[in-house]
Structure 1
């Protein structure tokens, strides 16, 4: 289920990046996430205005299981148009 997957990623992200999080859910909601260390290895921190090589960032996103699709931007995908890269995280509906 696409909505449950989005919520699962959002909850995991919150647990790893915030201190004020409490999650109440069934055990089945966390199956398939792997260890916290493994999940964190699939995180990239990008700051507004930061300069990075587009090719290296694209490679990092692909290694993190993102899909490049220059036409249909959806959860877990990124696209490059000219000198602009758009990334839609797995825990968001809109970028």
Structure 2
């Protein structure tokens, strides 16, 4: 298995300029509503419902508050969406 590619929050704007790239925030709805840096909110426990929608992107950047949950979900997405480049926002959004 390949090593998960991680990016920093400083690198994020450059990646988001790319076509077919999407930031997904896997925190709970309440957390996302309190503070977010954009992207779409896909709470981790509802991820399965979004596989088809997420598969339409070439690149997904997975984020959470501190990077722990998003690392796990990014690894899951690598397996479930093998034709999509999955990036992890190292250290989260804070």
The TM-score range, normalised by the shorter chain, is under 0.3
Looking at both structures, which has the greater relative contact order when contacts are Cα pairs under 8 Å and sequence separation is at least 6? 2
TM-score by length of 2: 0.26
Per residue, is there more strand in 1 or in 2? Answer: 2
TM-score by length of 1: 0.26
Structure number with greater Rg is 1
